């Protein structure tokens, strides 16, 4: 069996596709190829994307051929399954699936394209009343309990807690006072439990805030911490998640949250007072709360001091159910 991951070059989209590939690979043996989707005329890429979506409203073979003609040729010989994510790939995936009768899996909101043009259309919320539209509990990503456990140092599960720090973005704004509250609260948490603290910052973390945490928490955090603004960009997140007994993660990135949840570890998410997130984002977070996959709290509040019980069994169950739904839809 040969699987093609169709990528638009966006890392977040690729990681979702790769996550689905890894999920299927736990039960099915196959070879995998990655193909980059590129428009023939880059300067017209926005028009091509919009027009291709329009053509998908009444997609037939003639329209599918037209959509395919907008992009550089991709070799799909002997392909048995296409996996893609994001609005940039959806129309092309629908077109080549129709023309070549290849099952396809698409991740992401429909952007005007009906789920019926995909064998399995994976979305965070329901868009269409069809079994092809599979509603996800967790956004697919590169991690799972087994992947994180296998990557760990086999440390005691009581030896480490992980803080994943983002920063200001489109939907969240953190104040300096809120960061100071977190700094003091994380000190208390580490002192009470006498555990190692590992901090990982990101491209959204302000350099001044990062410096504040480095100075004020000196002696508390491990030398395994990764400081983005000091050039630390290659964190082995699977290993860090595998070593942690508890994960704290700021709420500015749903991908950071889904990756943390997927480890099966106990996760606390931290939100600021100033949130201007779209309804889709807040529903996403609320779903995780309702499923008891996260403990969501204000970044200014004292941290929940309980280490809690891990969610490994629950995460594995969610993964097993999703895999079976996908395999049923693609005929395996």
Closest CA to 93 of 118, 57, 128, 69: 118
pLDDT at 332: 82
pLDDT at 259: 96
pLDDT at 153: 81
Closest CA to 332 of 61, 89, 103, 14: 103
pLDDT at 154: 67
What residues have CB less than 8 Å from 236, skipping those under 6 apart?
A: 151
Weakly modelled stretches of the chain, pLDDT under 50: 157
Q: Where are the domains of the chain?
A: 2-136, 145-311
Beta strands 120-123 and 81-85, pairing class:
unpaired
In words, the CATH class of domain 2-136 is: alpha beta
**Residue 2: exposure state from Cβ atoms within 10 A (0-12, 13-18, ≥19):** middle
pLDDT at 146: 95
pLDDT at 278: 86
- Answer CATH for 145-311 from 3.40.50.720, 3.90.76.10, 2.40.128.120, 3.40.50.2000: 3.40.50.2000
pTM equals 0.91
Q: For 102-155, write each residue's pLDDT tens digit.
A: 999 999 999 899 999 999 999 999 999 999 999 999 999 999 999 999 998 865
Helix runs in 194-263, H state only:
207-216, 237-243, 254-262
DSSP string for residues in 175-204 = -HHHHHHHHHHHHHHHHHHT-EEEEE--TT
pLDDT at 160: 85
pLDDT at 292: 94
pLDDT at 204: 93
Residues, the chain:
332
User: Do 181 and 300 form a contact (C-beta atoms < 8 A)?
Assistant: yes
Tokens of 3: 């699987």
Tokens of 256: 């950071």
The beta strand positions in the chain, using DSSP E, are 2-7, 31-36, 81-85, 104-107, 120-123, 133-135, 160-164, 172-173, 196-200, 246-250, 266-271, 274-275, 295-298
Distance, CA of 326 to CA of 136 (rounded, Å): 11
Backbone angles phi, psi at 129, to 5 degrees: -85, 75
User: Do 222 and 155 form a contact (C-beta atoms < 8 A)?
Assistant: no
Q: What percentage of the chain exceeds 70 in pLDDT?
A: 98
pLDDT at 252: 93
pLDDT at 102: 97
């Amino acid at each position: 069996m040969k699987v093609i991951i169709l990528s638009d070059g966006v890392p977040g989209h690729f990681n979702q596709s790769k996550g689905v590939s890894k999920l299927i690979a736990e039960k099915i043996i196959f070879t995998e190829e990655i193909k980059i989707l590129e428009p023939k005329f880059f300067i017209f890429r926005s028009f091509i994307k919009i027009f291709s979506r329009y053509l998908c409203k009444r997609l037939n073979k003639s329209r599918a051929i037209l959509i395919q003609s907008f992009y550089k040729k991709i070799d799909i010989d002997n392909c048995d399954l296409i996996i893609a994510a994001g609005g940039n790939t959806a129309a092309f995936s629908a077109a080549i699936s129709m023309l070549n009768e290849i099952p396809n899996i698409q991740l992401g909101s429909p952007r005007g394209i009906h789920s019926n043009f995909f064998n399995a259309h994976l979305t965070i919320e329901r868009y269409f009343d069809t079994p092809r539209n599979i509603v996800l509990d967790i956004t697919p990503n590169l991690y799972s309990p087994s992947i994180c456990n296998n990557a760990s140092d086999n440390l005691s599960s009581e030896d480490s807690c992980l803080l994943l720090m983002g920063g200001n973005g489109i939907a969240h704004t953190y104040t300096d006072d809120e960061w100071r509250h977190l700094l003091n609260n994380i000190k208390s948490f580490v002192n009470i439990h006498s555990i190692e603290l590992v901090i990982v910052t990101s491209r959204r973390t302000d350099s001044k805030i990062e410096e504040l945490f480095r100075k004020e928490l000196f002696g508390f955090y491990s030398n395994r911490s990764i400081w983005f603004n000091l050039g630390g960009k290659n964190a082995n997140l699977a290993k860090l998640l595998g070593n942690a007994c508890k994960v704290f993660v700021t709420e500015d990135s749903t991908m950071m949250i889904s990756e943390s949840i997927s480890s099966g570890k106990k996760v606390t998410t931290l939100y600021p007072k100033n949130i201007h997130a779209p309804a889709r984002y807040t529903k996403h977070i609320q779903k995780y709360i309702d499923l008891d996959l996260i403990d969501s709290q204000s970044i200014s509040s004292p941290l929940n001091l309980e280490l809690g019980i891990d969610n490994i069994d629950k995460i594995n169950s969610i993964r097993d159910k999703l895999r079976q739904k996908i395999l049923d839809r693609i005929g395996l």
